[in-house]
Structure 1
Amino acid sequence: MEELSGIRKAAILLLTMDEELSAQVIKDLDEDEIDVIGQEISKLDSIPKDVATRIHEEFMRKVQDKSNFIVAGAQRFRVLLNKTFGEEKAEQLWESAKTYEEKPSKFLKTCDSRILANMLNKEHPQTISLVLSNMDIKKATEVVGFLPVKIQSDVMMRMANLEKVDRKIIEEIEVVLKEQLESIGVVDGRRLGGVEVVASILNQLDRTLESEILEKIEETKPDLAERIKQLMFTFEDLLGLDDKSIQVLLKEISSEDLSMALKGASESLKEKIFSNMSERAAKMLREDLEAMGPVRVSDVEKGQVKIAMIAKKLGEEGKIMLSVQNEQFV
């Protein structure tokens, strides 16, 4: 009978186990492992019943033969990876499948890379290298990218010369970093508040209240007020959109909301909207505006805020290009 590889056995085992159990196993695999097994599964046209039975029996036999405790489990697992995937692939998998003692805490894994880099920038390069060495490759790469260029090479050299470090030292560093971040308004690696949050809130207030708040801020912190304005996106900022973006936006909003919002818009913005509609649609919209009569300012502002928020969402999704206070982003 043909000797099957470990990967093929794993593929057959997954396909012939109970679906719920297979799903649980797949959840514990990383993307590389899923990819390798997936490729093997794609090669399987059919699975003879006697082959499936033999693999199940082999699996159960190996499980039952093990003692209650597995000694040096990490080393054993690494050997198994080498035998199954080869040394190069096994090394990659090992990096993402280290034992708990070698993994970074949840805090380091979830903390925003830019925020973490800004905090580490104040630490000694040796400390930075210790922290980075206990992250997965992808996260460490992101953090290094945000570090000042002048210390990047120093940190890399120190990492290269690191020996095994007591996990307690890393934990102590993590605790200090977390406390420092929390003291400046960062919880679980996420900043609370910030200029971006303020701009988003003001965007959704009525224009009168928004203006009052911005004026108060401007009286004492003109630079901060300017930063907030640059991050805000208002209905009149639609003037900065190109024709294609306007056309995409028009498909996402209702005629009722558009009519209400345009009731209080500048003539230049109205013409911008009309020019991106069919002649018939533009004519109908003009007639609706003329027939609408007086409306509450608050209703107009609500309509404008709603459309501005839709435009901002489309911009964040990369579907249109926004332009705010001469700043462009997609």
Structure 2
Amino acid sequence: MIQVDRLTKRYGSFKAVDGITFSVGRGEIVGLLGPNGAGKTTTMRVLTTFLGPTSGRATLAGHDVLDEPLEVRRRVGYLPENVPLYLEMRVREYLLYRAKLKDVPRSRRRAAIHEVITRCRLGDVEDRILGHLSKGFRQRVGLAEAMVHDPDILILDEPTAGLDPIQIREVRALIRELGDRHTILLSTHIMSEVEAVCGRVIIIAKGKIAVDDRLDRLRSESSIVLEARGPADAIRRGLESVPGVEHVVQAKVEGDYAAFEIHTKNGSDLREELAQRVLQNGWPLRQLDIRRTTLEDRFIQAVTRETISAEAEREAV
């Protein structure tokens, strides 16, 4: 449903988006995760035809954003971070106005508006003036507007920004429901949001994709944490010699104790083998535990790696 190939967006000499490539299949809910200024919003504005790419290509539902922008807009519903509403209009009046602009056939407008009001739980406020609604209800109106023409794809930029905890929970539940009928690309810098609603994660940093993987696969990654008393270099070499160990990272040295993070092939649990190797060499063991990798861990690793890489490129230039 979404295909992005080497997409780049420049502002003068600054690359907001730097040659990214990814795809989103039908029915997926994908989280576009990254720190502020990473390029998430710029990517979404290109995909929704609000901005043109400097180079590269993007197609949505089979239509190119440059060659067929009107066809793209017919198939995409977009919720920007700050929902643009006509605050003097009433909810139903506004949705009717937007349905007309989106070429919803006259014969279907009444049913389409009723459906989005129901799905977004706006029945109690459908006759109220938009300017009198809370931010949470305005966000729901924005979602209803994005859905009123029944698009194949929904692109949501920071859909829970500025909401209170109850409103955040309601909007997340609604997004999960929408995933039954729509392909969704959701931008956020809140990791709990991605974990709550998404099946796949794309982490973008410094305009580049740092991670693109399924959430359950990211959660299944783990490492082993070990602390032992003895010479750090000798302990590290001993751990690296255990079959199945991929690499060992020395974490810290505290007095006579050295700490290590051990990564194994396919995430194998080698705690027994590691303990035997340490004890055979007479090194007292203080800690041996499994650390499950969290989305936050992967996020920090990816952002830090891209930041270091970008600084190295600047220095080389």
Structure 1 or 2, whichever has the larger Rg, is: 1
TM-score range, shorter chain: under 0.3
Using structure 2 for the length normalisation, give the TM-score.
0.19
Using structure 1 for the length normalisation, give the TM-score.
0.19
Structure with a larger share of its residues in helix: 1
Structure with a larger share of its residues in strand: 2
Tell me which of the two structures has the higher relative contact order, counting C-alpha pairs closer than 8 angstroms and 6 or more residues apart: 2
